[in-house]
Structure 1
Amino acid sequence: MIAGIAGLGAFWWLTIPKVIPATALPPWKPDPANGLLVFNAAGCSSCHAVPGQRDRTRLGGGLAIPSPFGTFYVPNISPDPVDGIGRWTEADFVSAVTQGSSPARTHYFPAFPYTSYQHARLEDIRDLFAWLKTLEPVPGKARDHEVAFPFNIRRNLGIWKLLFMDGKPFTPEPARSVQWNRGAYLVNALGHCAECHSPRNVLGGIIASQRFAGGPNPEGEGWVPNITQKGLGDWSEKDIAYFLETGQMPDGDTAGGSMARVIRNTSQLSADDRAAMAAYLKSLPAVEGPRPPARTKQ
């Protein structure tokens, strides 16, 4: 009994959702213009925009994201005070984005890519919050997630975070160029490219040794390509940058599915930022990823 109580106590302690207190936020003058840049780089509209309409700033949520663990429904992040984040404090927002913790002190499911956003600069997250507050409120609350036991027990995510979150901010590599470091930041932190372009283990964590090496689509249909030099070896930096602007591949094909939504965001970035992302991606060494299933002959 003593061991059991001690074990439960340790579990409870280790799984307490981490939050950023308001006192930890230094004085800051928000820059909404940079917030818009962060919004596009982070792809917020790809998931949070209301499905079926063209306005990327109507962030009422509702998109269904299927996964091996169940179906997640993207929440409303408009400034609506009832259904959105209109009553959130800046500390609430920073805690949600970088720690995956809600204002109610519960864990968010990692369908929200906070494992990548944890590396974002605090100033960028604060600017994003300032920009979001300038948008029109959108009423309506997304439906509840459809996640079966035991994955629906949010407290368990505290252990998951210990396994798959390092809490380290992005640190530039001094030996690399300013452009390369900018690309590394956009790809790994805000752009969260590895969240889809990497295979995952049975717990849903990215397999670090095969980061960016492609794998089964987390949403259940199709295959996400390898974006290391194993998959993009024939692409030039200009090819990659042009793809991020237009969605057009060197062979004339175009991006489809969820990648088409991503292109709607990266096309809004500056040419310099797309070139930086291309420079970083082109520098990734070739990594062998999972083999896609053989196509059946029609």
Structure 2
Amino acid sequence: MRVLKRLALAALALGCAGAATFWWLTTPERIDRDALAAMGAGDAARGQRIFDAGGCASCHARPKAEGEARLQLAGGVELKTAFGTFVAPNISPDQKDGIGAWSLEDFANAMLKGVSRDGQHLYPAFPYTSYARMQPADVADLHAFMKTLPPVAGRAPDHDLGFPFNVRRGLGLWKLLHLNDAPVVAFGDGTPEKVLHGRELVEGAGHCGECHTPRGFDGGSNNGLWLAGAVAAEGDGVVPNITPGGNGINAWSEGDIVSYLETGFTPEFDSVGGTMADVQKNMARLTAEDRESIAAYLKAIPAQANGFPVRQKQPAN
């Protein structure tokens, strides 16, 4: 009996130690004071460019909104995935239902650390794993611009997630694997400034890797196949390989890429379609220098074979 009691106490101690370790490892990490102070006050005019690069309206405007209505960030767009359905929230400046009461610190914690104003982990359907690579001043500029937009009352519906994906605390372990502010592609000394500027846009605010990079079983990006193409998050299609390898845009020149981002037409005069249509509209609002930098980066990164499985054609009936 005494031995059983000791074993039970040992098991209890191990369980408590394991729970404490889990709690410590999964504690939401916030931005430090020095990094916050370095951001500055932010400039709304510059922030509009970051807003367009990030495609904020594509997810947070009401579904199918057009024109000025795309600046009313009421949320409601659904992303249906294998983990459940994520719903984009209201991020308008509404004081009650949006983020109007958020400070720059609150906003920076969400963008760079994936932490909500009340200290919970945010789901990575919000692409903070990319935003973590943004320049801090760009985050402050975006925050300043967001405050100029029209407030919209009303909360979007909650996410629809089953167990265990509805347990936010577990995202702390996921972040240990996938949240990193280091550049994905390391370039050597002497790399043209245009390429480095393109890296900031593609890897950071533009979050191109969120769709164009394949994901592992846990939903994290496999950056070893950076921009190699992936199975689409929704439906049964694929997102193309946009490295210099594969069969995506490997034959396109920098000029072809720039033209596509500006006009929506491929070198073969096909027009952009699917979810990329919204992305292209956002890219068209950037400066010519930004689009040229994105193209230069895409031609400078390592070539990759397609990151999605080959799909066999169905035999004709």
TM-score range, shorter chain: over 0.9
Aligned twin of 2:210: 195
1:293 maps to which of 308, 311, 315: 311
Instruction: State whether residues 42 and 191 of structure 1, in contact with CA within 8 Å, keep that contact through their aligned partners in structure 2.
Output: yes
- Find the residue that maps to 1:56 and give its secondary structure: helix
Instruction: State whether residues 229 and 308 of structure 2, in contact with CA within 8 Å, keep that contact through their aligned partners in structure 1.
Output: yes
The 1:173–1:83 alpha-carbon spacing in structure 2 relative to 1, beyond 3 Å, is: farther
* Aligned mates of 2:262, 2:298 — CA distance in 1: 15
**In the TM superposition, what is the alpha-carbon distance from 1:53 to its structure 2 partner?**
2.0
Aligned twin of 1:239: 256
The one-letter code of the counterpart of 1:290 is F
Q: What do residues 75-130 of structure 1 show as CA deviations (whole Å, max 9, x unaligned)? A: 11100011100111110000001100001111111001000000101110011001
**In the TM superposition, what is the alpha-carbon distance from 1:295 to its structure 2 partner?**
3.4
**Correspondence 1:45-56 to 2 at 5 A:** 45-54=57-66, 55-56=69-70
The one-letter code of the counterpart of 2:205 is L
Instruction: State whether residues 115 and 164 of structure 1, in contact with CA within 8 Å, keep that contact through their aligned partners in structure 2.
Output: yes
Instruction: State whether residues 223 and 292 of structure 1, in contact with CA within 8 Å, keep that contact through their aligned partners in structure 2.
Output: no
- Find the residue that maps to 2:86 and give its secondary structure: strand
The one-letter code of the counterpart of 1:240 is I
Instruction: State whether residues 232 and 282 of structure 1, in contact with CA within 8 Å, keep that contact through their aligned partners in structure 2.
Output: no
* Aligned mates of 2:86, 2:150 — CA distance in 1: 24
The 1:138–1:174 alpha-carbon spacing in structure 2 relative to 1, beyond 3 Å, is: farther
**Correspondence 1:121-132 to 2 at 5 A:** 121-132=135-146
Largest Rg, 1 or 2: 2
**Correspondence 1:135-284 to 2 at 5 A:** 135-168=149-182, 174-230=189-245, 231-284=248-301
The one-letter code of the counterpart of 1:74 is A
- Find the residue that maps to 1:232 and give its secondary structure: coil
**In the TM superposition, what is the alpha-carbon distance from 1:172 to its structure 2 partner?**
7.5
**In the TM superposition, what is the alpha-carbon distance from 1:52 to its structure 2 partner?**
2.3
**In the TM superposition, what is the alpha-carbon distance from 1:148 to its structure 2 partner?**
1.1
* Aligned mates of 1:247, 1:18 — CA distance in 2: 40
- Find the residue that maps to 2:17 and give its secondary structure: helix
**In the TM superposition, what is the alpha-carbon distance from 1:220 to its structure 2 partner?**
3.1
* Aligned mates of 1:42, 1:284 — CA distance in 2: 21
- Find the residue that maps to 1:275 and give its secondary structure: helix
* Aligned mates of 2:154, 2:122 — CA distance in 1: 19
Instruction: State whether residues 197 and 226 of structure 1, in contact with CA within 8 Å, keep that contact through their aligned partners in structure 2.
Output: yes
Q: What stretches of structure 1 move > 4 A for 4+ residues in a row? A: 21-24, 169-173
The one-letter code of the counterpart of 1:152 is N
1:75 maps to which of 89, 102, 105: 89
* Aligned mates of 2:314, 2:265 — CA distance in 1: 26
Instruction: State whether residues 14 and 158 of structure 1, in contact with CA within 8 Å, keep that contact through their aligned partners in structure 2.
Output: yes
- Find the residue that maps to 1:65 and give its secondary structure: strand
The one-letter code of the counterpart of 1:293 is R
Aligned twin of 1:33: 45
**In the TM superposition, what is the alpha-carbon distance from 1:49 to its structure 2 partner?**
1.1
Instruction: State whether residues 228 and 281 of structure 1, in contact with CA within 8 Å, keep that contact through their aligned partners in structure 2.
Output: yes
How many positions carry a matched residue from both structures? 298
Instruction: State whether residues 187 and 277 of structure 1, in contact with CA within 8 Å, keep that contact through their aligned partners in structure 2.
Output: yes
Structure 1 residue runs without a partner (length 5+): none
**In the TM superposition, what is the alpha-carbon distance from 1:22 to its structure 2 partner?**
5.5
Instruction: State whether residues 107 and 154 of structure 1, in contact with CA within 8 Å, keep that contact through their aligned partners in structure 2.
Output: yes
Q: What do residues 250-272 of structure 1 show as CA deviations (whole Å, max 9, x unaligned)? A: 12222212111111110000111
**In the TM superposition, what is the alpha-carbon distance from 1:150 to its structure 2 partner?**
0.7
Aligned twin of 1:98: 112
The one-letter code of the counterpart of 1:9 is A
Aligned-residue CA RMSD (Å): 1.7
The answer to whether structure 1 residue 20 and structure 2 residue 31 are counterparts is yes
1:57 maps to which of 71, 81, 95: 71
Stretch of structure 1 that moved more, 248-257 or 236-245: 248-257
Aligned twin of 1:107: 121
The 1:97–1:172 alpha-carbon spacing in structure 2 relative to 1, beyond 3 Å, is: farther
Structure 2 residue runs without a partner (length 5+): 1-11
**In the TM superposition, what is the alpha-carbon distance from 1:204 to its structure 2 partner?**
0.4
* Aligned mates of 2:60, 2:310 — CA distance in 1: 29
* Aligned mates of 1:196, 1:251 — CA distance in 2: 23
Please report the TM-score for the alignment, with normalisation by the length of structure 1. Answer: 0.95
Instruction: State whether residues 45 and 57 of structure 1, in contact with CA within 8 Å, keep that contact through their aligned partners in structure 2.
Output: yes
